[in-house]
Amino acid sequence: MAYDSHAGAAHGHDAHDDHKPHGWRRWVFATNHKDIGTMYLLFAGLMFFIGGMMAMIIRAELFKPGLQFVDPQFFNSMTTMHALFMIFGAVMPAWTGLANWQIPLQVGAPDMALPRLNNFSFWILPFAFTILFSTIFVPGGGPAGGWTLYPPLVLQGSESFPMVIFAIHLMGASSILGAINVIVTIMNMRAPGMTLLRMPLFVWSWLITAYLLIAVMPVLAGAVTMLLTDHFFGTTFFTAAGGGDPVMFQHIFWFFGHPEVYILILPAFGIVSEIIPAFARKPIFGYEAMVYAIASIAFLSFIVWAHHMFTVGMPLAGQLFFMLSTMLIAIPTGVKVFNWTATMWKSSMTFEPPMLFALSFLFLFTIGGFSGLMLAIVPADFQYHDTYFVVAHFHYVLVPGAVFSIMAGVYYWLPKWTSKMYDLKLATIHFWLSTIFVNVLFFPQHFLGLAGMPRRIPDYATQFTDWNMVSSIGAFGFGLSQLLFPYIIWKCVKSGVPAPSRAWEGAHGLEWELPSPLPYHTWEDPPSAELIARGAAH
């Protein structure tokens, strides 16, 4: 059975008092968590396709050696902007969108704790990304020094520099406000009886992610503020001529940057921990261990930052510390992979699109984890640093890791959000095309990196041609197959068949106890202890 078409809808909730505004006011002045969640997800989708177009330009240029389509400055601008759009525009807003939709539903809260702040933190984003995108058109072009913004290179950039810094400040403010809202909601708005250790793992993963955000986004903001004052106000925080230290910027950046990686991936752990039990029809194996593993990963993410900069020349003791602390992360990550596998052991699995994407995550994210372990080894990293091996590593973590689990989450909850079932066959095709092409795209980049091809260059030596061609073909295939995703969602909203309130027979959690279509306002009266106990299937 593809999905549970016989489950009864829990009717009788307050569908009659859906006082929702209409027209543009509903969206511009939105305070409803579902509307804001939808806006975040649509925005993330738009950024995903803009960032994806930039990736297509990069891969078209790299299809063969020599300069084909763009000049090197524009190429470097594309690599920089692609990263900024995908990280801050696509993945992070997609997680915030999912958090907005799901956290109040899953903890039995009527809405996010601070709805107006929620509206504000969303509407900052379109302005930030309009500013960032418009830098392409200023004299000298957009930022081209890489998303890491290392001085002194970034200080020698085009006239777009202050616009980029302003845009990053806005993105940071949006993320911090969103994180405050998530923590305040989870800590104060849970229904009576929804204890911390009864919360769904998606909520847990987001709670920990939000703490990470509050700790590190201000650090990025501080770093880019100092870049700004170095550039315009004569300070020398990172200018060696005035007593500053450019390597200090790298330390500060990666003190933000490494936890940022976990900000992008921890909610994925939460989503996969929701989906695998639902389609394995078994409670998650080791619920508490999963919570402690996420918390351990979050803690460890603060003490590994310098593994991104082994080659700057740090003391041996520092290299050893950061190498070993990085390797420690494999332990809680291993606990999670083991528990997901143990959940599936001797279960009655079915393979609907959310489960397919979750399983793909499990295999391919693990490949990204293993290449991460290779990069953690100091002497090996001296060889791999700044090569395509690193590009392959983090794309395995972020595309089949973060992006696939966002798609898994959307495919899992879409029937709840729309009360309609999407085209399962088309979604399965979307899954297979994505999984095949993502490997064609990124796996050859391991070989290119090991052979010594450096990253962030528009041209390369001819011995790298074959694998670059394969990688570019994979990129075009992956890019085209993603067009199916918005089409499937649009088709579902327009003409999907009605879905029952519990769309998947193995799904547990408070959101599935609500009727379909979902009332505009939910859990205005908190759920009963009985419902909470039934929802907490672990």
Catalytic residues: 82, 111, 147, 174-175, 258, 260, 262, 273, 307-308, 333, 336, 455
Residues between 7 and 26 that touch other proteins (CB under 8 A): 10, 12-14
Give the whole-angstrom CA distance, residue 298 versus residue 436. 31
Residues between 161 and 220 that touch other proteins (CB under 8 A): 176, 179-181, 183-184, 187-189, 191-193, 214-219
User: Is 509 a residue that touches other proteins (CB under 8 A)?
Assistant: no
User: Residue 497: helix, strand or coil by DSSP?
Assistant: strand
Q: Crossing angle of helices 246-280/92-107, nearest 10°?
A: 50
User: Is 111 a residue that touches other proteins (CB under 8 A)?
Assistant: no
For residue 490, give every residue at least 6 positions away whose Cβ sits within 8 Å of its Cβ, in sequence order, or none: none
Give the whole-angstrom CA distance, residue 369 versus residue 298. 15
Cβ distance to other proteins smaller for residue 40 or 523: 523
Among 38, 236, 347, 350, binds other proteins (CB under 8 A): 236
Among 7, 248, 373, 469, binds other proteins (CB under 8 A): 248
- The amino acid that residue 367 corresponds to is I
User: Residue 452: helix, strand or coil by DSSP?
Assistant: coil
Least distance to other proteins, CB of residue 106, Å = 14
Among 37, 142, 400, 527, binds other proteins (CB under 8 A): 527
Convert 348-405 into a string of H (helix), E (strand) and C (coil): CCCCCHHHHHHHHHHHHHHHHHHHHHHHHCHHHHHHHCCEHHHHHHHHHHHHHHHHHH
Cβ distance to other proteins smaller for residue 186 or 276: 186
Least distance to other proteins, CB of residue 386, Å = 25
Cβ distance to other proteins smaller for residue 189 or 290: 189
Least distance to other proteins, CB of residue 236, Å = 6
Q: Which two tokens stand for residue 26?
A: 């509903």
Residues between 49 and 108 that touch other proteins (CB under 8 A): none
User: Is 263 a residue that touches other proteins (CB under 8 A)?
Assistant: no
User: Is 113 a residue that touches other proteins (CB under 8 A)?
Assistant: yes
Least distance to other proteins, CB of residue 7, Å = 14
- String of DSSP letters for 252-307: HHHHHHHHHHHHHHHHHHHHHHHHHHHHHTSPPTTHHHHHHHHHHHHHHGGG-GGG
Cβ distance to other proteins smaller for residue 251 or 491: 251
Contact region with other proteins (CB under 8 A), list: 222-230, 263-271, 439-447, 492-500: 222-230
Q: Which two tokens stand for residue 406?
A: 């966002």
Q: Which of 161, 75, 123, 195 is nearest to 459 (CA)?
A: 75
Give the whole-angstrom CA distance, residue 340 versus residue 24. 43
Tell me 90's DSSP state.
Answer: I
Which residues contact other proteins (rule: CB under 8 A)?
10, 12-14, 113-114, 117, 176, 179-181, 183-184, 187-189, 191-193, 214-219, 221-223, 225-226, 236-237, 242-245, 248, 252, 513-515, 523-529, 531
